[in-house]
């Protein structure tokens, strides 16, 4: 019944004010003129202009005039605002308002997610991958959500951009008003932007399962769409729509500054400047964010303080989390200062009601009120291309405005009314009689009492006092409904029990009430109350702003061990050490190494220091920085794109994460260069990225300049999914693995031929492009491999199809085919002593490295493990234990030899004048368990220093203590808190199968912490 | 096909290799007195004898001391001149599934985790495979004994201590059912990355409380069960716990964080048990608690990443030293089974990061023997103990110098060959290289 009434009411209200031309009406037409004049208001026309004592005239949906001294024509309803304020209603450029939440199609969750669904399950002539769904248009699926509209209106919003947040290419969004009348009326602009993200959403397809896969899929889609324009072979709704949407604003949801940079890179490649919705951490790397040129949409969902009262629990919260808690509120101010164009959104607020409190926090942290207003009015209006309709109060624009008690940013401000398209929505009743004050209350048989009405607005709370005999002071419940009040209190005795008063206003000046009361035992009587005096309150002072405790400094990166100031290259003379040159000079005793300008200036005895700082290294050992040929640190969003048997289109380069603490931890073990590899879930993996461990630099700055491109291949149990997966993905045997390579390289050869003949008319295929690079000797293979049969197989496939294998990695049975590898000049990067973790390593032996080395293969030891990478020097030492490799050669297993196989031995890997100053100072022989890395230089910068680390830890301790105190203070002042739970650290290695979307990482069953 | 390969293998091996894996047979009992002369003797109790001697007979050590001040009758004895070499007590690997697993990814070879949550009646010794290819690869690095430990569930079952040169588990056993192993129900520190019902911090904490209540229930019941008359219906689980309460069996509790360690110790104390803490990655934060309660700690896997991002990056290397220097009895373990050959280097790491070599040695010898309750016969080179010792050409805690040349288990000179050495020889010979 209730529902029916509601429906009726809606239909009714619709016919009254906003009849639509095309809609029939049941009953008589009731079209009203909708003429209003708002007078005596402070009209904030826009962020730059405020009119005092102004008049706003509206007609129906539209603003007719804004100004002062306007003569009001007859026929207008005049609303005298008596110094109140009028603001343009706010605009939120990023919401999913009015979009039904899509159900996730895939199972997802623990160890699941993989269903082996290779192509789209959507019926129709759409894209092969469901995550590419530009055909989705919000204008077709938008439906008014009365509850959400009400929530947003109460906060002050009048229009929003409605986005279907599902998929990688998500289709078009629409700008709608927050009216409750009809979708036809609400639609302000039916196509505001084409939308994108890195998240495949409800797509049932396995691909992509990683961030780098999402990036590759989007890049391929740009290429496909471009190809589609000129072809006649197929009809594809998705690509067609994709092309049609390219002239709209392009809106990318990419949370976090690193993802902003990732999106901007794609934009640069395809000539797009995205508007990016991010997550509010841009202050951490504001220069890079600014340089991306992107306009941003930023949430203000500042984290709650962690509840750190229990020190043991507080340990779970990292310095990075604490600092982010402290500094996140500065983000809008930092963006403003940097001159970034940004809008603010309510998106990801726990509750839209937090919007104003958080916005005021941002203002306290330096955001100007002007920018704040711009960011919720004109900026989003411009982004969405709806400036002609909303965002400021000008003639011809929609009558979307707010009536407020004062400056909208003041904490005492009250939003009275939110008018949407000329329709009034009352948020808080204006001009209610202020009942606050002290009254003489008289009730029959009870006697004289004092009533005190307090609270906000016209009064929301009450207290009762009786003096003399039976004196008592008690609070009363006070409910007001228009001019009707009810008051309920208990005097303990005379009479006992609750006294319930109800009554009404009989006079306004002075205020008087009259009514009846009932006692608990049933007696009734009459009461009156008359105004005696105003509440005696301390004159309302301007709230003294709580002195903000100064914020701590930013650190780079924004995790523990980050530096407040980026360290710079030094000129250093390391004096009188045992120097392992890795050159023909061998190991020099009592020798010096001079570092200057990021390079090794000289190696030898009795070097002159010149301007360099002299470090006495007597008793120490100096080596080239260690190089890890096989690493999976410093990546994010998954390192396996294993949904298909080939994923050569994905690039680790796209997902480098500069904030991984393992970079610092490995510097502490003397590592300076790491090859970050794709995992081993499929035969043809993704493109590798060589990085230097430049702690604190941006992801792009970690990349090893000028290095050759590599790619990961894999063989064996992982690629045939022996220990994980559904078993539905080809191949499942080593026989099938061969044919995977044969097929892909045959296609690559044909593709290459076609490109040569037909040029741009051939559909560009990122997957085959990478294989062509291999055929052209421009990209080099690192192949994960175990047993001799498969190693032999790939060498034959390579021979027959005309490509080279640069390196076999893991290569645990390399010792069985070392002569064949040697004959082809293939390098080997293996583990020192791992075995028995899978069937295919039953004959893995620690003498493998030694045998391959002695056969003449360039041999390295690698980690594939964030922990072991800290001790690569010890792993090299094991080649002395297992097989008696000379110490000089053993060290080369983790320095010069990996440099050679990565084609960077002209820059790193040995101590030689002119090479990069990537140098480690060890406390003892580096192959010994007793050696500590005391200093690690990369490009002459001492990123690791054992002594400075101790200092840093102390500083960090102090900083943590300060932040913990600040959180405790916040809690004590009533600030909300959250449980101190740590952010899980994801450690990847070859067998980590993750799903970026489903936020899980599992290990293939039976996998070891190694491969 | 398989048969053919095997045949070919043996045919090949028999001509080139002295021993094939199947022929690495357990050594015969000691028949003659052995005298080792001139070695650096690392006694295992912190003491070092620079130019030492060791004599042993019938499997037991009969003498140890300074070689410069004794004279021997060298007749009727095998004399080993070990000038400049190092002699160590056999290293002991605590907490390992050695012999209970062969290939981690092959289910048929895995015998260390029984189903069920409370399995006090489960015994590792009966599944221990003396014929695994793994043990010989440990012996050749000096690991001569191990505590074979079941895993999984809250109460995983009983471990047994074995020596690594035996025909069958019965022969291998040094001490059967030495300890019961309990995994303390820890509150996960992470949300697990899943923001879903049942995974909230509160839900997890509740689950932990329930698990602890379950433990209290079974311990209380088991204690009463042992004290009363034999009930009409017997209970294998409760009966299996009897030796915990009379002190014949130790209780090992795996716990990592400081809170969990304190909770675990206080739990055991309620039943009059002094537990051994296993894992203990935050034990360094509560050294005085551990000392006051006389708690020994088996520090797991010093070669690990710090448990918190903010922790000292070298914390896992330092943990054991901090504990030992504070006076806590510390042993060291590593995860897994084939990895156990790296046990000496765990001690080496601890030596480097604060403990010094001889004290670090104790964490894989005498301290371990004490914690396992086998120090009367093993753990150090002292008269009366088993002659389970080895000679290394260099410092055995350092991979650069670890070179085990001779090893004895209970006086028996054991074969130091292994599958890996054999494959090395086979292929080095193929290529004609060393």
Q: Do A363 and A454 fall within a single domain?
A: no
Please state whether beta strands A599-604 and A689-692 pair in parallel, antiparallel, or not at all (unpaired): unpaired
B428 lies in some domain:
no
B365 lies in some domain:
yes
The reported pLDDT for the residue numbered A520 is: 85
The reported pLDDT for the residue numbered A481 is: 81
Instruction: Check: CB of residue B147 under 8 Å from CB of residue B161.
Output: yes
B426 lies in some domain:
no
A690 lies in some domain:
yes
The reported pLDDT for the residue numbered A895 is: 98
Cα A431 from Cα A422, distance rounded (Å): 20
Q: In which band, very low, low, confident or very high, does the pLDDT at A976 lie, cut at 50, 70 and 90? A: confident
Q: Do A734 and A837 fall within a single domain?
A: yes
A354 lies in some domain:
yes
B313 touches chain A (CB under 8 A): yes
Q: Structural domain of residue A21, as residue ranges? A: 1-31
Taking CB atoms and an 8 Å limit, are A881 and B403 in contact across chains?
Answer: yes
Q: Do A898 and A835 fall within a single domain?
A: yes
Q: Do B266 and B320 fall within a single domain?
A: yes
Q: How far is CA B205 from CA A771, B184, B200, B208, B210, in A?
A: 51, 13, 9, 5, 9
Chain B CB contacts of A846 under 8 Å are 420
The reported pLDDT for the residue numbered A13 is: 47
Q: Do B369 and B335 fall within a single domain?
A: yes
What is the CA A828 to chain-centroid distance, rounded? 39
Q: Do B31 and B137 fall within a single domain?
A: no
The stretch A332-361 carries a mean pLDDT of 95
Taking CB atoms and an 8 Å limit, are A320 and B309 in contact across chains?
Answer: yes
Q: Do B84 and B95 fall within a single domain?
A: no
The reported pLDDT for the residue numbered B21 is: 66
Nearest to B105 among A837, A874, A878 (CB): A837
- pLDDT higher than 60, residue B49: yes
Share the mean pLDDT of chain A: 91
Tokens 């019944």, located at residue: A1
Which chain B residues in 236-265 lie under 8 Å from chain A, judged by CB atoms? 257-259
The reported pLDDT for the residue numbered A461 is: 84
Lowest mean pLDDT among A135-144, A341-350, A506-515, B144-153: A506-515
Nearest residue on chain A to B347, alpha-carbon basis: A929
Chain B CB contacts of A878 under 8 Å are 399
Cα A663 from Cα A696, distance rounded (Å): 9
Q: Do B358 and B275 fall within a single domain?
A: yes
Share the mean pLDDT of chain B: 92
Nearest residue on chain A to B351, alpha-carbon basis: A930
B410 lies in some domain:
no
Instruction: Check: CB of residue B338 under 8 Å from CB of residue B306.
Output: no
Task: Output the pTM of the full model.
Answer: 0.91
Q: Do B121 and B221 fall within a single domain?
A: yes
Q: Do A762 and A636 fall within a single domain?
A: yes
Number of domains forming the structure of chain A? 5
Express each pLDDT in A632-642 by its tens digit: 999 999 999 98
Instruction: Check: CB of residue A77 under 8 Å from CB of residue A36.
Output: yes
Q: Do B131 and B45 fall within a single domain?
A: no
> Which of B56, B89, B122 lies at the terminal end of a domain, its last residue?
B89
Q: Structural domain of residue B256, as residue ranges? A: 91-378
The reported pLDDT for the residue numbered A31 is: 82
Chain A CB contacts of B99 under 8 Å are none
Lowest mean pLDDT among A91-105, A667-681, A737-751, A813-827: A91-105
The number of C-beta contacts closer than 8 angstroms across A and B is 165
A92 CB contacts (<8 Å, ≥6 apart)?
A: A152, A157, A159, A160, A161, A345, A346, A347, A376, A380
Q: What is the CATH number of the domain that holds A942?
A: 2.30.40.10
B372 lies in some domain:
yes
Q: Do A940 and A822 fall within a single domain?
A: no
- pLDDT higher than 90, residue A1000: no
Express each pLDDT in B239-249 by its tens digit: 999 999 999 99
A109 touches chain B (CB under 8 A): yes
A50 lies in some domain:
no
Q: Do A380 and A240 fall within a single domain?
A: yes
A219 lies in some domain:
yes
Nearest residue on chain B to A924, alpha-carbon basis: B352
> Which of B67, B89, B111 lies at the terminal end of a domain, its last residue?
B89
The reported pLDDT for the residue numbered A684 is: 98
Cα A182 from Cα A420, distance rounded (Å): 12
Q: Do A864 and A925 fall within a single domain?
A: no
Express each pLDDT in A144-197 by its tens digit: 999 999 999 999 999 999 999 999 999 999 999 999 999 999 999 999 999 999
The reported pLDDT for the residue numbered A973 is: 83
The stretch A800-821 carries a mean pLDDT of 97
Q: In which band, very low, low, confident or very high, does the pLDDT at A281 lie, cut at 50, 70 and 90? A: very high
Cα A504 from Cα A174, distance rounded (Å): 49
Tokens 């791992």, located at residue: A834
Q: In which band, very low, low, confident or very high, does the pLDDT at A433 lie, cut at 50, 70 and 90? A: confident
The stretch A483-503 carries a mean pLDDT of 88
The stretch A628-635 carries a mean pLDDT of 96
B57 lies in some domain:
yes
Q: Do B64 and B82 fall within a single domain?
A: yes
Chain A CB contacts of B433 under 8 Å are 851, 854-855
- pLDDT higher than 60, residue B2: no
Q: Do B96 and B143 fall within a single domain?
A: yes
Q: What is the CATH number of the domain that holds A340?
A: 3.20.20.140
Q: What is the CATH number of the domain that holds B198?
A: 3.20.20.140
Q: Do A615 and A639 fall within a single domain?
A: no
Nearest to B420 among A665, A846, A867 (CB): A846
B214 lies in some domain:
yes
Q: In which band, very low, low, confident or very high, does the pLDDT at B196 lie, cut at 50, 70 and 90? A: low
- pLDDT higher than 70, residue B15: no
The reported pLDDT for the residue numbered A447 is: 85
B1 touches chain A (CB under 8 A): no
Express each pLDDT in B60-98 by its tens digit: 999 999 999 988 887 889 999 999 999 999 999 999 999
Cα A378 from Cα B345, distance rounded (Å): 66
Q: What is the CATH number of the domain that holds B81?
A: 2.30.40.10
Which chain A residues in 807-836 lie under 8 Å from chain B, judged by CB atoms? 815-816, 818-819, 833, 835-836
In a mutational test of the B interface, the residue from A306, A321, A836 whose CB has the highest number of chain B CBs within 10 Å is A836
- pLDDT higher than 70, residue A1007: no
Q: Do B213 and B338 fall within a single domain?
A: yes
> Which of A859, A879, A908 lies at the terminal end of a domain, its last residue?
A908
Taking CB atoms and an 8 Å limit, are B305 and A867 in contact across chains?
Answer: yes
Return the top range by mean pLDDT from A406-420, A660-674, B177-191. A660-674
Number of domains forming the structure of chain B? 2
Q: Do B49 and B172 fall within a single domain?
A: no
């Amino acid at each position: 019944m209730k529902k029916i009434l509601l429906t009726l009411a809606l239909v009714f209200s619709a016919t009254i004010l906003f009849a639509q031309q095309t809609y029939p009406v049941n009953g008589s037409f009731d079209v009203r003129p909708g003429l209003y004049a708002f007078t005596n208001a402070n009209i904030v026309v826009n962020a730059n202009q405020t009119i005092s004592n102004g008049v706003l005239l509206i007609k129906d949906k539209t603003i007719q005039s804004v100004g002062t001294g306007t003569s009001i024509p007859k026929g207008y309803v005049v609303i005298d605002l008596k110094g109140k304020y009028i603001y343009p209603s706010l605009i939120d450029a990023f919401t999913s308002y009015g979009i039904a939440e899509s159900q996730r199609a895939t199972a997802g969750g623990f160890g699941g997610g993989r269903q082996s669904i290779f192509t789209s399950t959507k019926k129709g002539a759409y894209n092969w991958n469901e995550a590419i769904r530009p055909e989705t248009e919000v204008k077709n699926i938008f439906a008014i959500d009365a509850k959400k509209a009400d929530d947003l209106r109460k906060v002050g919003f009048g229009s929003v951009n409605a986005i279907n947040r599902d998929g990688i290419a998500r289709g078009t969004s629409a700008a709608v008003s927050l009216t409750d009348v009809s979708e036809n009326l609400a639609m302000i602009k039916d196509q505001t932007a084409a939308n994108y993200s890195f998240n495949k959403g409800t797509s049932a397809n396995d691909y992509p399962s990683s961030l780098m896969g999402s990036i590759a899929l989007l890049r391929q889609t740009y290429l496909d769409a471009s190809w589609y324009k000129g072809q006649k072979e197929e009809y594809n709704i998705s690509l067609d729509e994709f092309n049609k949407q390219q002239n709209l604003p392009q809106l990318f949801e990419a949370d976090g500054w690193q993802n902003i940079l990732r999106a901007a890179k794609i934009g640069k490649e395809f000539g797009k400047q995205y508007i990016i919705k991010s997550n509010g951490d841009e202050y951490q790397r504001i220069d890079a964010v600014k340089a991306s040129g992107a306009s941003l949409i930023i949430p203000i969902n500042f984290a709650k303080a962690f509840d750190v009262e229990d020190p043991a629990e507080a340990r779970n919260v990292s310095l990075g989390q604490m600092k982010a808690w402290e500094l996140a509120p500065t983000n809008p101010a930092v963006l403003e200062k940097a001159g970034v164009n940004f809008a603010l959104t309510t998106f990801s607020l726990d509750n839209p009601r937090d919007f104003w409190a958080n916005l005021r926090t941002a203002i306290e942290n330096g955001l100007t009120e002007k920018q704040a207003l711009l960011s919720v009015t004109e900026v989003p209006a411009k982004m969405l291309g709806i400036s002609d309709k909303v965002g400021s109060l000008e003639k011809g624009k929609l009558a979307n405005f707010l009536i407020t008690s004062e400056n909208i940013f003041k904490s005492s401000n009250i939003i009275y009314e939110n008018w949407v398209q000329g329709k009034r929505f009352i948020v808080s009743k204006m001009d209610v009689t202020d009942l606050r004050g002290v009254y003489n209350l008289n009730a029959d048989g009870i006697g004289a009492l004092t009533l005190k009405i307090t609270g906000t607005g016209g009064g929301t709370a009450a207290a009762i006092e009786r003096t003399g005999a039976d004196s008592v002071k008690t609070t009363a419940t006070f409910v007001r409904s228009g001019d009707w009040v009810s008051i309920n209190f208990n005097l303990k005795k005379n009479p006992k029990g609750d006294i319930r008063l109800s009554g009404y206003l009989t006079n306004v000046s002075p205020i008087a009430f009259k009514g009846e009361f009932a006692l608990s035992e049933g007696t009734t009587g009459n009461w009156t109350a008359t105004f005696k005096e105003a509440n005696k309150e301390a004159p309302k002072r301007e709230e003294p702003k709580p002195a903000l405790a100064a914020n701590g400094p930013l650190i780079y990166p924004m995790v523990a061990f980050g530096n407040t100031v980026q360290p710079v290259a030094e000129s250093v003379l390391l004096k009188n050490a045992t120097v392992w040159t890795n050159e023909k000079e061998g190991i020099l005793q009592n020798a010096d190494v001079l570092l200057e300008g990021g390079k090794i200036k000289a190696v030898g005895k009795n070097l002159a220091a010149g301007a360099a700082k002299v470090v006495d290294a007597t008793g120490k050992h100096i080596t080239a920085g260690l190089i890890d040929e096989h690493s999976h640190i410093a990546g994010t969003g998954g390192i396996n794109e294993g949904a298909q048997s080939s994923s050569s289109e994905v690039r680790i380069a796209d997902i480098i994460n500069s904030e991984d603490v393992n970079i610092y931890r490995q510097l502490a073990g003397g590592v300076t260069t790491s090859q970050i590899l794709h995992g081993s879930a499929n035969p043809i993996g993704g493109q590798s990225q060589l990085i230097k461990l430049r702690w604190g630099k941006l992801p792009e700055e970690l990349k090893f300049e000028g290095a050759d491109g590599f790619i990961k291949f894999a063989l064996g149990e992982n690629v045939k999914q022996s220990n994980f997966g559904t078993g539905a993905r080809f191949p499942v045997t080593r026989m099938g693995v061969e044919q995977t390579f044969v097929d892909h390289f045959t296609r690559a050869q044909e593709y290459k031929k076609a490109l040569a003949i037909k040029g741009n008319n051939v559909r560009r295929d990122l997957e085959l492009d990478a294989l062509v690079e291999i055929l052209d000797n421009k990209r080099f293979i690192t192949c994960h491999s175990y047993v001799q049969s498969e190693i032999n197989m790939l060498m034959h496939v390579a021979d027959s199809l005309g490509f080279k294998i640069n390196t076999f990695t893991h290569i645990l049975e390399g010792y069985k085919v070392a002569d064949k590898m040697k004959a082809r000049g293939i390098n080997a990067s293996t583990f020192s002593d791992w075995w028995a973790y899978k069937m295919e390593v039953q004959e893995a032996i620690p003498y493998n490295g030694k045998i391959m080395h002695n056969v003449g293969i360039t041999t390295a030891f690698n980690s594939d493990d964030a922990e072991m990478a800290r001790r690569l020097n010890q792993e090299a030492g094991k080649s002395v234990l297992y097989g008696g490799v000379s110490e000089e050669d053993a060290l080369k297993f983790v320095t010069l030899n990996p440099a050679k196989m990565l084609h960077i031995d002209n820059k790193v890997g040995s101590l030689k004048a002119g090479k990069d100053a990537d140098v480690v100072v060890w406390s003892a022989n580096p192959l010994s368990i007793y050696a500590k890395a005391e200093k690690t230089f990369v490009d002459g910068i001492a990123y690791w220093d054992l002594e400075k680390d101790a200092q840093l830890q102390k500083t960090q301790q102090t900083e943590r203590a300060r932040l913990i105190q600040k959180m405790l203070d916040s809690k004590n002042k009533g600030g909300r808190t959250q449980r101190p739970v740590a952010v899980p650290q994801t450690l990847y290695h070859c067998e980590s199968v993750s799903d970026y979307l489903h936020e899980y990482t599992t290990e293939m069953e039976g996998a070891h912490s190694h491969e | 096909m398989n048969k053919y390969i095997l045949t070919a293998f043996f045919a090949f091996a028999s001509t080139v290799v002295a021993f094939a894996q199947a022929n690495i047979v357990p050594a015969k009992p000691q028949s003659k007195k052995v005298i080792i002369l001139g070695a650096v003797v690392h006694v295992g109790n912190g003491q070092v004898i620079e130019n030492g001697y060791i004599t042993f007979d019938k499997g037991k050590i009969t003498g140890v001391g300074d070689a410069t001040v004794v004279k021997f009758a060298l007749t009727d004895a095998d004399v080993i001149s070990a000038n400049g070499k190092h002699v160590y007590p056999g290293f002991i690997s605590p907490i390992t599934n050695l012999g209970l697993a062969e290939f981690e990814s092959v289910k048929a070879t895995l015998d260390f985790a029984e189903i069920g949550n409370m399995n006090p009646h489960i015994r590792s010794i009966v599944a221990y495979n003396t014929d695994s290819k793994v043990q010989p690869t440990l012996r050749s690095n000096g690991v001569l004994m191990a505590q074979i430990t079941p895993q999984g569930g809250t109460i995983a079952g009983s471990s047994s201590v074995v020596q690594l040169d035996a025909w069958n588990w019965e022969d291998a056993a040094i001490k059967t059912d030495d300890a019961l192993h309990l995994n303390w129900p820890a509150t996960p520190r992470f949300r697990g990355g899943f923001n879903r019902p049942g995974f909230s911090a509160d839900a997890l904490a509740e689950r932990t409380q329930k698990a602890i209540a379950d433990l209290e229930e079974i311990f209380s019941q088991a204690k009463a069960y042992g004290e009363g008359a034999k009930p009409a219906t017997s209970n294998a689980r409760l009966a299996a716990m009897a030796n915990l309460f009379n002190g014949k069996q130790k209780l090992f509790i795996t716990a990592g964080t400081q809170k969990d360690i304190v909770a675990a110790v206080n739990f055991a104390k309620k039943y009059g048990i002094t537990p051994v803490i296993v894992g203990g990655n935050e034990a360094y934060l509560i050294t005085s608690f551990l000392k006051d309660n006389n708690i020994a700690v088996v520090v797991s896997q010093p070669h690990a990443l710090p448990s918190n991002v903010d922790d000292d990056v070298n914390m896992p290397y330092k943990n054991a030293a901090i504990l030992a220097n504070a006076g806590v009895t510390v042993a060291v373990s590593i995860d897994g089974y084939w990895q156990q050959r790296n046990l000496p280097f765990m001690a080496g790491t601890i030596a480097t990061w604060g403990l010094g070599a001889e004290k670090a040695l104790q964490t894989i010898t005498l301290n371990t023997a004490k914690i396992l309750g086998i120090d009367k016969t093993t753990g150090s080179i002292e008269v009366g103990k088993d002659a389970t010792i080895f000679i290394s050409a260099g410092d055995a805690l350092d991979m650069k110098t670890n070179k085990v040349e001779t090893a004895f288990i209970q006086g028996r000179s054991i074969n130091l060959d292994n599958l890996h050495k054999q494959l090395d020889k086979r292929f080095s010979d193929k290529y004609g290289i060393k």
